[in-house]
Every structure is written in C-alpha cells, then in structure tokens.
Structure 1
Amino acid sequence: AKEVICPICLDILQKPVTIDCGHNFCLKCITQSGETSYGFFKCPLCKTSVRKNTIRLNRLLANLVEKIQALQASEVQSKRKEPTCPKHQEMFYYFCKDDGKFLCFVCRESKDHKSHNVSLIEEAAQNYQGQIQVLQQKEETVQVKAQGVHSVRDQVEHEKQRILTEFERLHQVLEEEKNSLLSRIYWLGSEGAEPQSNYLKKLIDSLKTKQNMPPRQLLEPHLPRSEEFQFLKPTPVPLELERKLSEAKSRHDSITGRMKKFKDHLQADRKKDESRFFKSFNNNDMKGCKIAAEMLPLTSFLLSFSRKGGRTTTSGPPNRHSSAIPLPVSALSQCLLASYAEISGQGASSQDTKTVGAALSEELHAALSE
C-alpha cells in the first residue's frame, strides 16, 4: 500500500514520522531534506513550511510497517521452499496425469503436454486423496483378515499341543498298565520257580554225594541201600500262587478284550471323521494333506528325539507309510480346527469343543477302569 511508502526514497518507511502538514516520511529522509532559516523546512510534497522540532514518531504506522514486512518475509520464504520448473524457472501449478509430472504455465501450453490429461495440482491431489482413502480402507480390511489368520494359527497351535498332550497321556496309561502286568508275571515266575530251583539244587547235591561215596559203600546190598536212601520229592506249587497267576491271566485277557473293542471303535469313528473332514477338499488340498501325512512320521520322530535330549531308543525314523492321518500343516490351516470340531455346522472353537486326544483319553480310562 502507498501509505507505507516513503515519498522521498520510494521504499517502505523506516522509522516513520509525521510532520505538521500530515505527510509521512522516513526519519532519515526528512531530516536530510534540508532546512531553511530559523529551524523551518518545506514539506517535499505540499511545500508547506513546518518547524523541524514538530517532527513526531508515528507508532501506529510503524506497527503496520512491521506487520507488512513480516508478511512479506513469510511469503518469500514459502516461495523459496516451493519447487520451480527447472526449464522455465516458474512455479508449478499443474499436474500431468499421463506423464505423472508437475507443470508450470509454459509447460502446460507446450506441445509435449497440450493433448494430455492435465489438471490443477489441488484438483489432482483431491482425486488421489480419494484413491488413498480407498487404499486405506482396503489396508484395514487386509489387517483385519491378517489378524483373523493369526488367530486361527494360534488356535491351531493350541489344539496341536492339546492333541500331543492327550495322546502322550494315552501312551502313559498303556505303559503303566503294561508295567503293572509284567511286574506281576515276573513276581509270580520268581515265586513259582524258586521252590523248584531249591529242590533241583538239593537233588544235585545228593547225587554228587552218592557219586563221591567209596566203592565198598556204593556196592552194598541193593535192598539196604534202597531202604536207607531217601529221594527228595518235588515241592508242589502253592494254591495261593496258582490263584494269583490265574488272576493275572484273567486281568490280561480282560484288558486285551477291552483294548480290542476300543481299537475297533476308534478305527470306525476315525473313518467317519475322515469322510466328513475331507468332504469339501479339492485336489490341491488332498495333495497338501498327503505330503503332510508323509512328513508327519519323521516330524514325530525328530520331536521325540529332541524331547529326549538327543537320545533315542529307535534305530531310525518310524515307518514313513504310517497309517496315522495327520492334521494338515500347510494346505488349509482352518481344517485343523474344523477336523474334530464342526459337528453341527458351527465354527471350531477351543472353548466349546474337545480335542480328539481328550475324548480318547477319557474313553481309554473308562475302559481300563471297568
């Protein structure tokens, strides 16, 4: 605005002052304009004679000048930050969607971009902002799905550990029952064999004694020798020992029968469950399950090997043609949860379903406790 321009230097007022006629000047400019006799000087604009000592500082105008200078400084700084066209040294105002470049006025009218899809930078930014929002929404959807996948994986790992734990319990129950029966048989064998062993030992000692007798004594008359010699009689097996042996055999037969029923029931139930489990599988899913089935015996062997601290009693990996049906490792993670959980068409959940291992463990405990 011309109100802040000094009429003498034609620049922004520096320390603006006002004289009696009402005109404004820079303090330095008005003091150097010269003075007449008796302390008077003439206004450079209206030629009015005014006293030099009537010059006064215009504070309102000085504040206005400071604000204008601050505003100009910010505009200059912002212009310096904005990139300019390296070819024409002009600011960018347009965006070419075909080339993906910023354009100045000159570039916009050039033949290189005359026929291109060009719009103002602000308009292009709004369009891309809408695309960014769509991408953000898609990203949020992907994140939600990723969280669901992680949740399924966590549930799969949890169910896998539960299955391993329960089948280890099954193995432990069978191992304890086996040790109990074997300890009974070993004890009965030692109790029954010890009297007979003592009898044989005494008989051998008696024969050795007769063998070492002198010839005269050995050739004594047959009848007196027969009357004097007492043959040892075998010790009969105690009735209590026979009863305990019979009880052990009965216990073994009972457990064998129950285990056979349990095995038949387990195999029949497994076939039904496999039919339901693989019903919706496609060829790729079946291939994945087949690969997992071939790898599971080796995986189980390595897991057992690591749990024993690097020691194993087997001479090598188990039979790779094992009949065990594993849970798919890489084909469909959701199948692991659905395997023994989707009974009534509902989703699998570790809270409202039991693992197969838990069910089998309970059934085996019930069978052995009958």
Structure 2
Amino acid sequence: MAWAASATSLADEVTCPICQGTLREPVTIDCGHNFCRSCLTRYCEIPGPDLGEPPNCPLCKDPFHPGSLRPNWQLANVVENIERLQLVSALGSEEEGVCQEHGEKIYYFCEDDEMQLCVECREAGAHRAHTLRFLQDAAAPYREQIEKCLKCLRKEREEIQEIQSREKKRIQVLLTQVSTKRQQVISEFARLTQFLEDQQSILLAQLESLDGDILKQQDEFDSLVAGEICRFSALIEELEEKKERPAGELLTDIRSTLIRCERRKCRKPAAVSPELGQRIRDLPKQALPLQREVKLFLEKLCFELDYEPAHISLDPQTSHPKLLLSEDHQRAQFSYKWQNSPDSPQRFDRATCVLAHNGFSEGRHTWVVSVDLAHGGSCTVGVVSEDVPRKGELRLRPEEGVWAVRLAWGFVSALDAFPIRLALEEPPQQVRVSLDYEVGWVTFANAVTHEPIYTFTASFTRKVFPFFGLWGRRSSFSLGS
C-alpha cells in the first residue's frame, strides 16, 4: 500500500543518530542536525580529551554549545503523525470502510470469498463472477444469525446461572443439615454418656455387694471348717490314745467309743451358697438394659441422621380399579376383577398404580414398602410429580416425572432414562424409600440389610407423591415407616 510504504520511508528520516530509535523530544543544534533531547544530554556529559572545549556534533563533528539546544516542534509533530500511520498500518486501517489496497471506500461484500470490496476491487477479474451485495444488504442476514446465536447463548447462560443458583441453594441445605446432625450427635452422645455412667455405677455397686457377700461367706465357711477340723482332731486323738492302752483299759467302754466314731456326722459346708452363686451367674443379665439401650441408641442415631418417618396412606381416589385396597389404606392387592370405582381425573385408568394421599413439597422423608410377589408379579415404588399423567400410557422415567425402581420376580430394575438391571446380593422384600426434596435425592435401600439399591438425583419444582405400581395375581404390598 503506497501510503504505508511512505510512512515507513519517513520513519527512517526521523531516526535519532545516537540511539537509532525514533526521535523523542527532538532538539536541533547549531549545525542543524536533530537528536533526542535525552540522548544529546547524555552525550554532552561524556568528558572529551580537551576539557573546557565545546562538544562536537556526533554526525558532522562541528562544535556546538549545549546551552543553544532548540526544540524542533514541527519535527515532533511529524514523528507523532508517522507513529500514528504505522499503528494504522499494523491494525489494517485507521477508519472502517477503507480498502487497504486501494485506499477507496468499501461498498460491496463478496459472498463467495467473504471479502469487503471497493469499486476497484469489484472491477478486478477475481470477483466479476462472484455474488456481490451492498454492505448493508449483505450484513442483514448475518445480523439475524448473530441475533439467533445471541438468543441461544443468553438462554444457555441463564440455564447455567439457574443451575448455579440451584446448586448453591442445595449446598446451603446440605450445610444446614450437617449442622443439625452435628447437634443431634452431640445431644445423643451426651445422653448416652450419662446413661453409661449411671449403668457403670449400678454395675459397680452390684459387684461391690457381691464382693462383700463372698468375703462374708468365706469367713463363715472358714469358721465352720475350723470347728469341724477341731472336732475330728479331738476324736482322732482319743482313738490314738485308746489304741496304745493295755488290753484291759482298751476294752473298757470300747463298744461305746466305736459307736461314737461310727455315728459321727461330718458337715461339708459349701464356700459359696447357692443363692450367691446364682447371683454371680445372673450378673450378665444386669447388663441387658445396657445392651438394649446401646442398640436403641444406635438405631435412633442412624434414624435421626437419616430422614423423618413419613406416615402415609394410599389414596383410593387415584387407585386403578384392579387394585384392591385395605380398609386402613395401608395395603394393596392386585386383582383381575375390576373394582366398582367411579372414574375421576385423579384416577389411573391404564397403569395399575396408586398414589399416597399426601405429597411433599419440602423436607426429608422416609417410608418402607413390604412387597409380597407371586410368580411373575412385579411391584414399582418411588415418587412422582403431582402432574404425572393419570390417563393413558404412563412412561416410568425421570423425564416424565417418575423416579422409581421395579421389583420383579427374581430381579430389580432402576427405571432411569433407560431401565437399569441392578446386581444385588439378595432381592429385597422390604424397600426403604427416602426423599430429600431440597437436595433432590430419591434413595432406595433394603430396609432389612440396609444395602443400597439405587439413588436418583433430580430438581424438584412441584409437589411429589409416593408412588406404587402392582401387577400379578396374588401380588401385594403394604406400607410401613
């Protein structure tokens, strides 16, 4: 480009002879040469061979007076304009709409090459067969595309912001739950500690009592044994003396002496009485309350660290006519015989399902479902959104507002976007369903072995209800907590 080449040529003319850079604050000396003020000042500070002589020009060696430096304002303006032109050259163009090659204003856009053209560019042979449009006409459809992209990007950004907000709330809920659980743990362990101290005192007192009774019976035993030993020692001594006497004296009252020996009664006392022995054997029973309390403590602690029990009942207004509900609405049995149930918007008409009477829109809740399946039967348990379809086909998956697992004869499946057959140690007969509404967890576990079954993660925005499905003659389920 001609003007860019001219700017480069001018830049060579405004170079400082000392630093070889662009002139900064140019000054002119007596001989007419120009230098940077700072460069020339440093040059004058260098001492020459002849002290007191004026310095010489770095180019022509003519002497000049340092005090006669004259600022060259015109040259400074030229330097500034050259730098601006160089910057424009580096960026492409100082003004929008100017052709870099010809310096003409741009009017056209080549659709084929995606290039902006001036009149001279348009007349060039390279673009004559291409589709050319005026800039405004060419920009209009691209503006529309950009607007669509912006709309999509803004929507996605809003979704990400919503996710961020929701996850922050979820984290706060979890932190609150952890804080509450911390207080529960402290409280329960303090109560257990007090109970253990009381039980320790009771057991130690019982052991102290047993210790005293054992020592008392030991003294009684020692006294009794000592008396018996003394009696037998006297009799032995009498017989030994009798045996050494002459025959006449030995035979005197011999029959009476022998009768006394034969009729002797040796008392053989026990060191510990049966009653005391029984008390010692029964001592472990005194620790049974401790064992029961520790068990209750662990169960209560685990329960309080988990969820609140939900006291739910089946809603007959939603029950499919093939489900036979108990009078207390705690049990359902599958029946091929249709019940005389009036149709209503709330009732399932194709899926053999039923909902709980009350739903949840907050909190942490848990309930137990006991399942009794006949051969070929199945039972589905979980939660559903309140707006789940009641009429027609019901698709059991999270996208339709259903978070559930299916227990069938011999296997268990998680009804996710695609059913997942689960590998469990044993098929559960009692399933614990736990709901954390704020966090968005629906957790299933074996209520007997506590083995985890499956966990769904969701974002609840509407009320959810416990959900139950049943199929198979003689199959049934019942509720618990």
TM-score between both structures, scaled by the size of structure 1: 0.41
Which has the larger strand fraction? 2
Query: Which structure has more RCO (C-alpha within 8 Å, separation ≥ 6)?
Result: 1
Which has the larger helix fraction? 1
